[in-house]
Amino acid sequence: MTPDAIRHDEPPRPGAPAPASVAALRAPAPGWATEADVVVVGSGVAGLTVALRCAAAGAKVTVVTKARLDDGSTRWAQGGIAAALGEGDTPEQHLDDTLVAGAGLCDEQAVRALVTEGPDAVRRLIATGARFDADESTGEILLTREGGHHRSRIAHAGGDATGAEISRALVDAVRAAGIDTVENALVLDLLKDASGRASGVTLHVMGEGQRDGVGAVRAAAVVLATGGMGQVFAATTNPAVSTGDGVALALRAGAEISDLEFVQFHPTVLWLGPEAEGQQPLVSEAVRGEGAHLVDADGVRFMRGQHELAELAPRDIVAKGILRRMLEQGAEHMYLDARHFGARMWERRFPTILAACRAHGIDPLTEPIPVAPAAHYASGGVRTDLRGRTSVPGLYACGEVACTGVHGANRLASNSLLEGLVFAERIAADITAVPAAPPEPTVSGPHASARPAADTASPLLPSEARYAIQRIMTTGAGVIRSAESLARAAERLDRIRDEAADELRRDGKTAEPGVETWEATNLLLVARVLVAAALRREETRGCHWREDRPERDDVAWRRHLLVTLRPGGSLDVRTTDSASFPVPARPAVAPPTPRTETESQP
C-alpha cells in the first residue's frame, strides 16, 4: 500500500510484528517503582494539557519532568499563540498560511484539525486560567502579526511573556488538581509488555527522597511531551534541558522518526559574540510584527524585494536573507532596528526582550539590536497520527517532540503552542475513550541488571562529547548545508560513536551512567539521524537549505523521510512514495483489558 492510500484514522495493520526495543541506555536497575494509568513525560503546554484532560476524565496521571514543572520550553515562548480569533479571520485563512510556510510537506488533515479546533482550545486554555493581553476598553484579546501570517492572529500575554503565562496557568491547574508529579527526573527508556505495548518508563530522579535515583513508572499509556533538541547545536534559543531525550527514547523503542532534517533557525536571536554557546536570548518575531526593520551595518533594509512580506516573510526565508547578507558583507550579524518604537512601546509590549538586551549592554531605544539566526525549533520528530499515536502501541507524542504533519518543512510562527494544545487534547480523548487497564508485566529487558548486555545497550559517551557534537553540528548541519559538510559531519559523529563502542568491546569500559553522559548519548543519536536525513534530502526546501542543491525539487523530493534505529545502532533511512503523510505502521497487538472498579483499588 502506498502512502497515498493510507489514512490517518486507519486501524493498526494486522499481522505486523510488534516493534522491539533495539537498544537502551546503560543504567542501574530501577530501585523503586510506582503505577499510574498514564505517565506524561514533559511539563510544557502539551504535557500539562494531556495530564489535566486525562485527570479530569478520572485517570490516574503521573507527570515526569526533567527540571521543575515550569522549566520547559513553553515558558520561553515570547511571541504568542496563533488562532483565528479576530474579526474577519477564518480557520481557512490560517490553514492557507500554514500550508505555504510548510513548503509542500504539511499534512492538510492535520493542519485542518489544528486551525479548526484551535480557537476553542485557546478559549479552554483561558478558562483554565491563562490571561492574555486584552483591550482595556472592550476586553477583547489583542492580536498581532508575525512572519508568514496575512492576518493579525497572534494572542500574547505580558507583552512578550506568553509562554510564561501559559506555563503559570497550567502549572497552577495541575497542582490544584493534585496530579502526581516527579520533578528533576530524566526519562531513560520505554518499558514494554510481552506483546510490544508500552507499559511505562524508566527514569532517573536527581535528588533525595522517597523517589530518587533510577526508578520506573508503570502505565498503560505513555505520552512523550519532552520538547525539542536545540542543544544539539552550539547556539540555540532552547533551554539546557532540550537534549532530544524523547526522540532518542522513541528511536531506541523502535518508533519511527520523520523529517528531522527540518530544524528551524530563528532569524533574530540576540548576537552575543562569536564564542557564545548554549541558550541565547530570543528577539521575538512579534518585534518585526509591530514594525521593526532588519538592516545591515549601513542601515539598508535588505529584506525588501526578497519577499512580498519583507521582514515578515516565513522564518526560513528571513533566516536565509540574513545569512546571505552576512556572507556578502563578511559580517557576523545583522541588526534589528526598533528605535522608532519609543520607550513606552518597548516597556509595555516587549519588557522581557528590553531587559535581556540591556542586561547584555544593548539599549534598543537608542541603538539597533545585533541579531543572527540560531537553532530554534524541530519541525520533525516522532511520527504520529491525528490522535498522537506513534508506531509503538500505547506510546503517544505531542508538542515539539512529535511530527504530526502540521509543520511540514517549516513551522509557521506561533503555531507551536497551538499544536501542543490541540494535539494534547486529541491524545487525552484517545486515551480516555477506553477505561484504563493495569499495565501488563514488563518483559525482562535492558534494565534487568545494573550492567546490561553489550548487544542491548549503547555505550555511554563522556560528558565532554556534548560540546564536540555541538561544534560538529553547527559547522556541518547548521543553517547552510552541503553534501560535503554533511558527509564530514556524519563521519565525525560516527567516529565518536565507534570510538566509544570500540572501547567497550576492547576493554569493557564505558562512561559512568549519569545525567550528563545520558544527555550526551541522546544528543549523538539525534544528531546522527538529523545529519543522515539532511544528507539524503538533495534539495533546498523550507528550513533545510542545501548550498549545493539550491532549488526545491517537487518531482523527486516532495515526500517525507522516515528513520528507524536498527539493532546494533545503524540507521534505516527511507522515503515515502509521495507527499502524503502516512500513518505510523502499527503492529497488531491485543488492546489492554479494561479494568473493573474492584481491580482499580490499591
176 Ramachandran zone, left/alpha/beta (phi>0; psi -120 to 50): alpha
Per DSSP bridges, beta strands 213-218 and 33-35 are parallel
Distance CA 389, CA 19 (A): 14
Distance CA 406, CA 377 (A): 13
Q: Which of 601, 589, 585, 591 is nearest to 430 (CA)?
A: 591
Cell reading at 64: 515526569
Which residues are bridge partners to 377 per DSSP?
264
Which residues are bridge partners to 482 per DSSP?
none
Q: What is the CA radius of gyration of the chain?
A: 23
Is 389 noted as a catalytic residue in this protein? no
**3-state SS assignment for residue 527:** helix
Which residues are bridge partners to 418 per DSSP?
none
Q: Which of 21, 458, 25, 445 is nearest to 254 (CA)?
A: 21
Distance CA 79, CA 83 (A): 13
For 473-487, what is the HEC assignment? HHHHCCCEECHHHHH
Per annotation, catalytic residue among 26, 53, 151, 315: 315
**For 360, phi and psi rounded to 5 degrees?**
-105, 20
Which residues are bridge partners to 218 per DSSP?
35, 200
Which residues are bridge partners to 17 per DSSP?
none
**3-state SS assignment for residue 202:** strand
Distance CA 122, CA 555 (A): 38
CB atoms within 10 A of CB 240: 14
- Could you give the residue numbers annotated as active site? 315
